[in-house]
Amino acid sequence: MPREQTGSFETRVLADGTRAFHLRVRVNGKREPLVLHERPSCGCWCGGGWDEPGARRELGNVLARIRAGVWERPEAPVVIASSEPTDGVPTYTKSADDWLAGKISGAIGDAPISKNTAVDYDWRLGYSRSFFGDIPIDEIDRNLCLDFKAHLLAESQQQREDLEAGADLRNVHGQPVIPLSLASIKKIIDTFATVMDEAVEDEYRETNPARSKRMRIKVPKPKRTFLEMDELAALLEAAHDQDVPLPTPVGATASPGGSAEKVGRLASLGKRPVQIAEELGLSKSTVSYHFRRLQIDQGRGYVGRRIVCEILGRAGLRVGELCDLRIGRVRLHDPEGARLRIVDAKTEAGERVVEVTPDLAEVIREHIDRLRRAGFPVGPDDYLVPNSRGGRISPKRVAEIVADAASLANERLAEKRLPPLPHTTPHTLRRTYISIVLLANHFDVKWVMDQVGHADSTMTMDVYAQLQQRADRKHGASFDKLMRKAHVQLAALPVAA
């Protein structure tokens, strides 16, 4: 059995005070040294800007490629050597940093951007910063721009091929590497071009080569769909059945009035072991003993899978709006009907009011009651859909909940020999809500736009167009009816003698 591929790592301090990280690996019995520089835009193949965690992770990726048999020693440089700025012209990195600071403060644009938007812009700029580095912004010409585009495409393709070959590539955080999609590359190039626009605006250059036709990236339009009403019902039923139940004592019979009986009673109300120990004055080990004796499944407590899918599918909230929704913004006893007050940056008043159907209002009431019984805080400032610790649930977790419900729904549909659901995400449920509410309100597009917080009608009308196609299915039935009539008429004709 061949020996597992290993490598060595050494840090050296250079004359300019920056570090160089020396990696040594063996490929086919031959030693292959690699050097990664901390100095930004060093001009060699590594690109510069490395730190120790990133260099160690790169060593792991090199070894992964060697194990998969796809590693090749890098030869051609992937970044451009920097030069000293002249005549007060800023470097690209400084221009990018100044642009982002202006967006955050509101000096550039109509208003200050949100924290999440700033993080997204910083991620996009990371690619252009590492490529152009300290090059004066007036020296970035058409060829350098095209090199940048080619670099992004080539890196993405290479990562994709390495992963398909079996290489376990990881990023600096130890997470699996996901190659850039065409949509992500387009965002990176568009943001780079915007920074170059500011350089033109500041009169550091006359033209912006990043806006040339050759820099364009054509992104295939994603196939977006929505669920049929029966498909949504199947999803909601699956999510309901996947909810973590409140603990119920089973097994051994507890003596009335004893510690076991008290522990079991509080557990059936959703109390956690720590809460039970504090309330009864028992040690945690004693409560754990009674849980085992009564065969109580502690689980992770109730959080609510059903409520996630119900609100997305019956109210059309964005996933971030669901994550941010506080109990105090839920109005279930409003004389004019139940409402959700949603913080919405796209609405002039800063919020919008979403009407809640009677069935959804009942689901929310039940959910809040179960939160209370499970020991979660249910004050006005607490989250309506918390995570398992009572804090803000993440959009990623919401997507996982929707995917899990769709998976169970597909299993049940397969048992009935019905086709599976289309690829279902939180956004799919938002579009599903739009499709159903358009039908329910006789295609009142303006009202639907207000409900879902659309600043323009593009998405609403896109769903409307798809819905019109589905609504015209009766034409197919009419076609079949005519064909059946033709068959009858043909059969009725006499046979020639």
Q: What is the pTM of this model?
A: 0.61
Instruction: Please list the residues that pair with 19 across neighbouring strands.
Output: 13
Q: Quick one: tokens of 354? A: 């979403």
Average pLDDT over residues 160-168: 89
Q: State whether CATH 1.10.443.10 applies to domain 306-489.
A: yes
- Which of the two residues, 278 and 198, has the higher pLDDT score? 198
Contact yes or no for 295/250 (Cβ under 8 A): yes
Q: Tell me the pLDDT band of 249, cut-offs 50, 70 and 90.
A: very low
Q: Domain map of the chain by residue range? A: 1-79, 84-220, 245-293, 306-489
- Could you identify the residue written with the tokens 């309506």? 384
User: CB within 8 A of 238, min separation 6: which ones?
Assistant: 405, 406, 408, 409, 412
pLDDT above 50: residue 78: no
Residue 98, Cβ density class (10 Å: 0-12 exposed, 13-18 middle, ≥19 buried): middle
d(CA 53, CA 172): 6
Q: What b/e string do you get for 24-41 counting C-beta neighbours within 10 Å, with b at 16 or more?
A: ebeeeeeeeebbbbbbbb
Q: What are the start-end ranges of the H helices in 165-304?
A: 182-201, 229-242, 259-268, 273-280, 284-293
pLDDT tens for each residue of 7-22: 788 888 887 788 888 8
pLDDT tens for each residue of 134-154: 899 999 999 999 999 999 999
> 458 to each of 24, 251, 446, 465, how far by Cα in Å?
55, 58, 12, 10
- Which of the two residues, 44 and 80, has the higher pLDDT score? 44
Considering Cα of 267, then 272, then 273, then 277, what sign does the dihedral take? negative
Contact yes or no for 261/301 (Cβ under 8 A): no
User: CB within 8 A of 64, min separation 6: which ones?
Assistant: 162, 167, 168, 169, 170
The CATH superfamily label for domain 84-220 reads Tyrosine recombinase, N-terminal domain (1.10.150.130)
Contact yes or no for 271/301 (Cβ under 8 A): no
Q: What is the DSSP string of 382-435?
A: SBSSB-TTSSBPPHHHHHHHHHHHHHHHHHHHHHTT-PPPPP--HHHHHHHHHH
Q: What is the pLDDT of residue 137?
A: 93
Q: Give 393-398 contacts, CB < 8 A, sequence gap 24+.
A: 393/303, 393/322, 393/323, 394/323, 395/319, 395/320, 395/323, 395/426, 398/308, 398/312, 398/319, 398/322, 398/323, 398/426
Q: Tell me the pLDDT band of 80, cut-offs 50, 70 and 90.
A: very low
Instruction: Please list the residues that pair with 84 across neighbouring strands.
Output: none
Could you give the angle at the alpha carbon of 150 between the alpha carbons of 147 and 151, nearest 5°? Answer: 85
Average pLDDT over residues 414-432: 93
pLDDT tens for each residue of 258-305: 788 788 777 766 567 887 888 888 888 888 888 777 766 554 456 789
